[in-house]
Amino acid sequence: MGSQTRPYNDRTAGAIDRKRERERQNMLQNLYRNAPELATKLVQRLLDKHVIETTSAEAIREVFTNLFHKLPEMEDFDIQYKTAPLRGLIADPNFISLYLTQYIAEDLINHDTIQDIYGDDLEIYQAVDSVLGALRPPA
């Protein structure tokens, strides 16, 4: 029997997967490193776009800062599970922005200082991604 070689397409797919995983890890590292600044910008954007109404912007900033520190430690399955309902929301989504969109809609709404959350999933995603889109590497 002759030796089996990987078809060209398998090597290409593997290279693409490795590149995406490196980009994903870099995004998570940048999120962790810049958590306080990004949390401040995100809360301000959500308030400016009238996505959230809160009695304490500082408390929400702390929630996001803590989440940004925890996100790189999460299992990929947990992130995929959380973002599953929104995968078809937009073509080529930022997975961090998707996660936060779902987090805002499902979890943040139950926070003591949140009075209300406005907008549909796409509006929330666009507000979140306008801040966190900077984490994505240039195309």
pLDDT on residue 21: 86
Say if CB 100 and CB 128 are below 8 A apart: yes
Please tell me the pTM assigned to this model.
0.86
Task: Give tens-digit pLDDT for 13-29.
Answer: 777 778 888 889 999 99
- Which residues are bridge partners to 112 per DSSP? none
pLDDT on residue 30: 95
Helix/strand/coil (H/E/C) assignment for every residue in the chain: CCCCCCCHHHHHHHHHHHHHHHHHHHHHHHHHHCHHHHHHHHHHHHHHCCCEEECCHHHHHHHHHHHHHHHHHCCHHHHHHHHHHHCCCCCCCCHHHHHHHHHHHHCHHHCCCEEEECCCHHHHHHHHHHHHHHHCCCC
Task: Give tens-digit pLDDT for 34-75.
Answer: 999 999 999 999 999 999 999 999 999 999 999 999 999 999
Q: How far is CA 77 from CA 52, 82, 136, in A?
A: 28, 9, 21
CA–CA separation, 89 and 104 (whole Å): 15
